[in-house]
Amino acid sequence: MADSSKNELRELHYSGHVQGVFFRATARNIASGLAVTGYVANLPDGRVKLVAEGTPAELDLLERSISQEKGQNIQDVTRDTRPATGQFDGFEIRY
C-alpha cells in the first residue's frame, strides 16, 4: 500500500436489509480491486460492520461503490475515522 502515514482507518456500520443479501461478498469483491485492507462482518443486531484502511481516496471509492451496488438495502451508515494502524494484510469476510 502507499505511504501509510497518509492512510486512515474507517469503521462503518451499515443498517437496513444488509444481511442475507450478499452484502459482505459484494464488499469483499469491491475491496479486492482497491488498495484497501480490512474486513466485513455481520453483527448480531442485524447490522454489517466494515473496517477498512487505505488512502482517503481509496476509502471514498470503496464507500461509493458499496453504495452503488447495495444502496437499495442500506437504510443508514455510521462512520468513525481514525489513523490507520497497519494491522491488516488483506480484506476478508469475518464470521
Supply the residues annotated as catalytic: 24, 42
Return the C-alpha cell found at 58.
Answer: 481509496
SS (H, E, C) the chain: CCCHHHCEEEEEEEEECCCCCCHHHHHHHHHHCCCCEEEEEECCCCCEEEEEEECHHHHHHHHHHHHHHHHHHEEEEEEEEEECCCCCCCEEEEC
